[in-house]
Amino acid sequence: VVFWLTFGLWEYWMEDFQSGVHSGQSAWNPIIWPFHFMFFLGFFLLSLQGIAEFIKCVRFLTGQTDEWEPRDG
């Protein structure tokens, strides 16, 4: 689900970036794409963490490492 959401946020950000969408909600009327990019970036980093955890689980289950507990520091 996180990967699907990340892909959707990428498309959402690119659409806003290319069209230069503004908020239209105030007199300031800021551009919206930097905020949408931060949403995308956050979910992209969460996706990378998910991949890292998956690799860690596979390594443990295949016997390549005995370490399962998180490291200190």
**Dist. CA 54–CA 36, nearest whole Å:** 27
User: Per-residue pLDDT tens for 13-67?
Assistant: 999 999 988 888 888 889 999 999 999 999 999 999 999 999 989 998 898 877 7
Token pair in block for residue 48: 């990378």
Residue 16 near residue 54 (C-beta atoms within 8 A) = no
Please state the φ and ψ torsions of residue 33, each to the nearest 5 degrees. -60, -30
**Dist. CA 37–CA 8, nearest whole Å:** 12
The whole-number average pLDDT for the span 3-8 is 91
- Say whether pLDDT at 73 is over 60: no
**Dist. CA 11–CA 36, nearest whole Å:** 10
Q: What is the model's pLDDT at position 71?
A: 63
Token pair in block for residue 18: 């290319």
